[in-house]
Amino acid sequence: MTQRIELVINDRCRTVEVASNTTLLEMLRDQLKFKSVKPGCWRGDCGLCLVLIDGRPIKSCLVLAQELDDREVVTVEGLLDNGNITRLHQSFIEKGALQCGYCTPAFLLASEALLRRNPHPTRERVCESMNGILCRCTGYKQIVDAILAASE
Partner 1 sequence: MFVTLPEFEYHRPQTVSAALDLLDQYGGGATVMAGGTDLLVDMRYRIRVPEHVIDLKGIEELGKLTFQPGEGLVIGATVTLNRLLEYDAVQSRFGALHDALEDMCDDQVRNRATLAGNLCTASPAADCAPPLLVFDAKVEVASPAGRRMVDLPDLFTGVKETSLGTDEMVTAVHVPEPPPDVQSRYLKGKRSSEDCAIVGVAALVARWDDPRDRVVRLAYSSVAPTPVRVYDVERIFRQDKPWGDLVEEAVSAALNRVSPISDVRSSKEYRVHLIDVLTRLALRELLGGRR
Ligand X SMILES: Cc1cc2nc3c(=O)[nH]c(=O)nc-3n(C[C@H](O)[C@H](O)[C@H](O)COP(=O)(O)OP(=O)(O)OC[C@H]3O[C@@H](n4cnc5c(N)ncnc54)[C@H](O)[C@@H]3O)c2cc1C
Residues forming the site for partner 1 (CB under 8 A): 1, 3, 19-23, 26, 39, 42-45, 47, 50, 56-59, 61-64, 66-67, 110, 128-133
- If contact means CB under 5 to 8 A according to the sort of partner, which of partner 1, ligand X, ligand FES, none does residue 101 touch? ligand FES
Does position 77 interact with ligand X (CB under 6 A)? The reply is: no
Amino acid identity, position 98: L
Site string for ligand FES, 42-71 (x = CB under 6 A): x-xxxxxx---------x-x----------
3-state secondary structure of 68: helix
Q: Which is nearer to ligand X, 44 or 96 (CB)?
A: 44
Angstrom distance (rounded) from CA 75 to CA 79: 7
Which residue among 103, 113, 146, 148 contacts ligand FES (CB under 6 A)? 103
Angstrom distance (rounded) from CA 58 to CA 66: 15
Whole-number Cα distances in Å, 101 to 68, 98, 107, 143: 27, 5, 10, 11
3-state secondary structure of 11: coil
Q: Which is nearer to ligand FES, 48 or 65 (CB)?
A: 48
